[in-house]
Amino acid sequence: MDRVVLITGASSGVGLALAGHLAGRYRVIALARRVERIREHLEHNPAVEAVRADLADERQTSRVLDGLLERFGYIPFLVNNAGVSLKAEIADLDARQAGRCMQVNALSPLLIMRKLLPGMRERNFGRIVNVTSGAPLNCSPGFGAYSASKA
């Protein structure tokens, strides 16, 4: 079995920590917009490959995933960790910003799973972890778009 894991949102927080933790036991594909941050923290770790992708851009994300699947053939482990938070009252909410929040937090994980699942099914093995938030349960004022996207 290949030991390749794709981690989204790997330029900071949980994603960056997870990439560093899993490197060595897994070949880590660290996906993020800000790959320079990944390289800054994990540059001396040959098991981590920083790959630039803006998950708000569906076409770009699809192209990046196609390229990764062409190179690796099969990615058995996925951690959908990326997320964007948007703080705005509903009356002030910009539809473009809310759409970006929804794309990154809800639709991109779906796109990524749809790309990786065929290989997992073909080999009868795969693991997917979707990182979410307690925000939908405790929807704080000003975080309606974020809470909705994480629900």
Question: Using H for helix, E for strand and C for coil, what is the string for the chain?
Answer: CCCEEEEECCCCHHHHHHHHHHECCEEEEEEECCHHHHHHHHCCCCCEEEEECCCCCHHHHHHHHHHHHHHHCCCCEEEECCCCCCCCCHHHCCHHHHHHHHHHHHHHHHHHHHHHHHHHHHCCCCEEEECCCCCCCCCCCCCHHHHHHHC
Catalytic residue among 146, 147, 149, 150: 146
Our answer to whether residue 74 is catalytic in this structure is: no
Q: Which residues have a catalytic role annotated?
A: 146
